[in-house]
Amino acid sequence: MGNIKTLDLPLKTTPATIEDVARLAEVSIATVSRAIHMPEKVAASTRQKIDHAIAVTGYSANAMARSLRLGRSNMILAIAPDISDPNFSPILIGLEKEARANGLGLLIGHTQGDPLRGIEYLKFMNAHQAAGMILFTGYVPSDPNQPAPRLPPSVAVVEPMAHGSIPFVGVDDRLGARKLLELLLAHGHRRIAFIGDSRARLAHHRRRIGFDEGVAAAGLRDSQMVLDSDGTLEGGRAAIERLFLRDDLPTAFLCVNDQTAAGVMMGLTARGYDVPKDFSVTGFDDIPQANFLSPGLTTIRQPRTAIGQEAMALLLRMLEGEGAEQPETLLMPDLIVRGTVGPPAPWPLNRKGFAKGS
């Protein structure tokens, strides 16, 4: 009889079910299930028969049936405003890697920065009973017309949550900014401008705080400068244009991110200045483009893949039932020194494109 079963298996065209395995191993399906999930509960000899049957049939459990029964899928939903953002995609890799290693799948959601699309995903997540969520957005999407849905365990990355108690995994922004400032100070800079909008994003706000702290610690409160900029390349360039309408120029620019720094560099180059001879510039993030600027941008590298893995590992622990042991996990920022920082130019600088300042 066993023989017959072994023989007619290749005829089957649909994937093997637990029943096929049970039949072949001559046990009940319950025992097969147990052999898989609680091996210590089944006799060694039986286990062996079952293992063999599994190998022969190529059985792997139907995840849908399993999820249905368990009331929870093995999918983690990652919601990001822009998956192609070079800051995000390596995090996705880290997330995916860690998830896979634990038999979970990573489902991606892309909101394009549109909170409405977030609501869609909420529905989707609900329907799919995602086991957990990773949020890149800094807020929980919610539909005002519906009662708040129960969220699965969630972890925030990149941008800490504005409200609520969702744990955050990311780089230590404050410390990163501090490191950059120290570098500029070490080179002798005293008039340093921070370029960025510290209100829009909490992560950027923290960079600003690091800057402020460093400035205060060095006793330079009066000579600091802050220029608003929206965090884009264009914004960086525009900030430079506005700056040169003024008289008091800094000798260095600490930019809230690399895009801004690139814009600043382009703005300065366009005016005929040289970086780092005339001005020093620093970025933040170490996006892949940073190394393609000339000179290469001195910046802070985010340990992106590590952030992803760490975040997923934390989520996994939360799924095991342990609460998040700490609200924030801050990873060490790496200072990447390339070519955009040098000693300050002698003051007053020979202004180009404008009459010389007083």
The entry of its own copies, DNA, none that residue 43 binds, CB within 5 to 8 Å by partner kind: DNA
Query: Exposed e or buried b for every residue in 154-164, given b needs 16+ CB within 10 A?
Result: bbbbbbbbeee
Residue 187 sits in the site that holds DNA (CB under 7 A): no
Q: Give CA–CA dist 86/97, Å, rounded.
A: 17
In the bound state with its own copies, the residue whose beta carbon lies nearer, of 83 and 225, is: 83
CA distances from 342 to 185, 257, 297, 327 (A): 10, 19, 12, 38
Residue 72 sits in the site that holds DNA (CB under 7 A): no
DSSP string, 185-238: HHTT---EEEES-TTT-HHHHHHHHHHHHHHHHTT-GGG-EEE---SSHHHHHH
Q: Which of 5, 9, 33, 72 binds DNA (CB under 7 A)?
A: 33
Residue type, 74: N
CB burial class (10 A; 0-12, 13-18, 19+) of residue 209? middle
Query: Phi and psi at residue 134, in whole multiples of 5°?
Result: -120, 125
In the bound state with DNA, the residue whose beta carbon lies nearer, of 26 and 85, is: 26
Residue 331 sits in the site that holds DNA (CB under 7 A): no
Per-residue DSSP letter, 275:
T
The entry of its own copies, DNA, none that residue 33 binds, CB within 5 to 8 Å by partner kind: DNA
- Min dist CB 311 to DNA, Å, is 26
In the bound state with DNA, the residue whose beta carbon lies nearer, of 58 and 113, is: 58
Instruction: Evaluate the omega torsion of the peptide bond into residue 295 and state whether it is cis, within 30 degrees of 0.
Output: yes
In the bound state with its own copies, the residue whose beta carbon lies nearer, of 46 and 269, is: 269
Footprint of its own copies on this chain (CB under 8 A)? 10, 13, 15, 58, 60-65, 67-68, 73, 75, 82-84, 86, 89-90, 92-93, 96-97, 100, 105-110, 120, 123-124, 126-129, 146-147, 150, 262, 288-289, 292-294
Residue 104 sits in the site that holds DNA (CB under 7 A): no
Residue 45 sits in the site that holds DNA (CB under 7 A): yes
- Min dist CB 234 to its own copies, Å, is 13
Query: Exposed e or buried b for every residue in 72-107, given b needs 16+ CB within 10 A?
Result: bbbbbbbbbbebeebbbebbbebbbebbeeeebebb
Residue 17 sits in the site that holds DNA (CB under 7 A): yes
Residue 75 sits in the site that holds DNA (CB under 7 A): no
The entry of DNA, its own copies, none that residue 96 binds, CB within 5 to 8 Å by partner kind: its own copies
Using alpha carbons, select from 253, 255, 258, 309 the residue that is nearest to residue 276.
253
Q: Is the dihedral of CA 228, 167, 149, 61 positive or negative?
A: positive
- Min dist CB 93 to DNA, Å, is 28
Residue 19 sits in the site that holds DNA (CB under 7 A): yes
Q: How many CB atoms lie within 10 A of CB 284?
A: 30
The entry of its own copies, DNA, none that residue 34 binds, CB within 5 to 8 Å by partner kind: DNA
Total of chain residues touching DNA, rule CB under 7 A: 28
Number of H helices, E strands in the chain: 12, 12
Q: Which residues have a Cβ under 8 Å from the Cβ of 288 and sit 6 or more positions away?
A: 86
The entry of DNA, its own copies, none that residue 13 binds, CB within 5 to 8 Å by partner kind: its own copies
The interface with DNA within residues 218-257 (CB under 7 A) comprises: none
In the bound state with DNA, the residue whose beta carbon lies nearer, of 68 and 101, is: 68
In the bound state with its own copies, the residue whose beta carbon lies nearer, of 65 and 216, is: 65
Q: Which helix (H) or strand (E) holds 113?
A: none
In the bound state with its own copies, the residue whose beta carbon lies nearer, of 174 and 304, is: 304
In the bound state with its own copies, the residue whose beta carbon lies nearer, of 308 and 344, is: 308
84 and 113 in contact (C-beta within 8 Å)? no
Q: Which positions lie near DNA, rule CB under 7 A?
A: 14, 17-19, 26-31, 33-34, 36-37, 41-43, 45-46, 59, 61-62, 65-66, 68-71
